[in-house]
Amino acid sequence: MSGRMKEERNSGYYDEQAERMDRADRAAFQEMGTLRCLRYAYEKAPGYRKFLDERGVTPALIRNIGEFSRIPVLKKNRMPELHRMDPPFGGFLAVPVESLKRIYVSPGPLYDPEGRKEDYWGLRKCLYNAGFRSGDLVMNTFSYHLTPAGIFLDEACNGIGCVMTPTGVGNTEIQVRTMLELKTNGYLGTASFLLSLIKKMEEMGYEPARDLAIEIALVGGEILTPTLRKGLNDYGVIVRQAYITAELGALAYECPRENGMHIADDQYLEICDPLTGDPLPAGSVGEVVVTNFANDCYPLVRYGTGDLSAIDEDECTCGRTSRRLRGILGRADEVTKIRGMFVHPRQVDEAVSRFAGEVDGVRLVVTREGDADVMTLEVRLKPGVQGTDALMTALVERVRETTKLRGDVVFVPDIPEGGKKIEDRRKWE
């Protein structure tokens, strides 16, 4: 990579006025936006109004940001139930459905609406500040079907002038040839998949030092370990991470300092006790709770993501004044992210529901082999049932259908009673 290109990717602001806002002005801006969002959601989204009324809370009780924690946390893991009770959006949609641009389907299932506002998900700033520039040829390996990751990152890259190759997931050899023949210099996807593509290049006889054109990668969907980042840096790839969700869009992104993720300017983010919802002091590890005051279609107030993190209050040397997240440190509930996709305990039950006559108990175990997640369904069979290849094949297919992920199935003699339905045994450096 040329020194000029590297310097260009490591400097500049997408919206300098917003990103370098005085901290007192930022606090006032967030308070105004957050309180407006609360009132708007209560007025326009009947499901949210019901949620607050059942808990004896009204916006009139909240006069400033100091009282905002009186609002109960709306937990992500409750949303599938709320959506089923009042389909398809649980009453949280604040605009007519015909005014939407798209509707996505996330695991749960959850229906995530997209409005027609330009840069609806707030991703252009995230991509630019991570180092993408107009004219980049970008390979997007996130999925383009059902869930929003592929499409909304594609549109955001286009919005800052990038040229997109929508490769999606899988087809490693085809992706490698595409990457090489087009001389792709940007990448979107998981860090572990990018590393596997580079390793595949080497297996195919190419030399990364000569043939790899990728300069910048925005990664997400898994924990980025120092070893994984360094492994990609050693191939000459700048690796930046972002915190993006299907419901809220861009929550935080890394700048060139790579020292935590800057919280988006139009999100009010708290770190809270996962049980009580009370805000925790700066530096404490707790649940990420978000109020998105830029979204009038699907206003989410004190939305508990289930992710664990901590906030760094110190100002970054890059000049941006927003607080920073110290990365995603785990999950506050049993919902687990595997290869960039959330898997819910109820999906595990759904996977084996057709096998009630054969299956007596299940547990999904997640491990890590090198830089790849491995998902294994442990199955305890009922007395007298044989663990045949046909039964195993049927279970493997059903797991893929319900989770949208490939995994193994093993028959085991015992599964501990009262244990977790999803056991995450991954070790992060």
pLDDT at position 330, please? Answer: 77
CATH code at position 417: 3.30.300.30
376 and 282 within one domain: no
In this structure, are residues 268 and 69 in contact, taking their beta carbons and an 8 Å threshold?
Answer: no
Q: Among 31-35, 186-190, 421-425, which stretch is predicted with the lowest mean pLDDT? A: 421-425
If you average pLDDT over every residue of the chain, what do you get?
A: 92
Residue 245 covered by a domain = yes
Residue 364 and residue 408: Cα distance in Å, rounded?
10
pLDDT tens figures, 309-353: 999 999 899 999 999 999 887 777 777 888 877 787 878 888 888
Instruction: Tell me how crowded residue 234 is: count the other CB atoms within 10 A of its CB.
Output: 10
Residue 324 and residue 201: Cα distance in Å, rounded?
36
Name the domain boundary from 332, 352, 368.
Answer: 332
296 and 380 within one domain: no
Q: How confident is the model at residue 1 (pLDDT cuts 50, 70, 90)?
A: very low
Residue 79 covered by a domain = no
260 and 214 within one domain: yes
Planar angle of CA 171, 405, 221, nearest 5 degrees: 85
pLDDT at position 4, please? Answer: 45
Instruction: Tell me how crowded residue 221 is: count the other CB atoms within 10 A of its CB.
Output: 22
Q: Tell me the H-state helices in 45-171.
A: 46-53, 79-85, 123-130, 149-159
Rounded mean pLDDT, 13-20: 96
The token pair at 352 is 């084996």
Domain of 144, in residue numbers: 3-23+116-332
CATH code at position 193: 3.40.50.12780
Residue 171 covered by a domain = yes
- What's the structural domain count of the chain? 2
Name the domain boundary from 312, 332, 352.
Answer: 332
263 and 200 within one domain: yes
Residue 33 covered by a domain = no
Residue 260 covered by a domain = yes
287 and 361 within one domain: no
Query: 426: which strand partners?
Result: none
274 and 243 within one domain: yes
pLDDT at position 429, please? Answer: 62
Name the domain boundary from 332, 355, 386.
Answer: 332
Residue 390 covered by a domain = yes
- What is the helix (H) or strand (E) element at residue 179, kind and residue range? helix 172-181
238 and 307 within one domain: yes
353 and 308 within one domain: no
Residue 63 covered by a domain = no
Rounded mean pLDDT, 211-235: 92
Rounded mean pLDDT, 226-244: 94
201 and 156 within one domain: yes
pLDDT at position 346, please? Answer: 76
In this structure, are residues 301 and 92 in contact, taking their beta carbons and an 8 Å threshold?
Answer: no
CA 35: distance to chain centroid?
25
Residue 250 covered by a domain = yes
353 and 267 within one domain: no
In this structure, are residues 80 and 344 in contact, taking their beta carbons and an 8 Å threshold?
Answer: yes
348 and 321 within one domain: no
pLDDT tens figures, 382-392: 999 999 999 99
Sign for the CA dihedral angle at 402, 404, 409, 415 comes to: negative
Residue 203 in this model has a pLDDT that exceeds 90: yes
216 and 181 within one domain: yes
Residue 77 and residue 303: Cα distance in Å, rounded?
10
pLDDT at position 221, please? Answer: 85
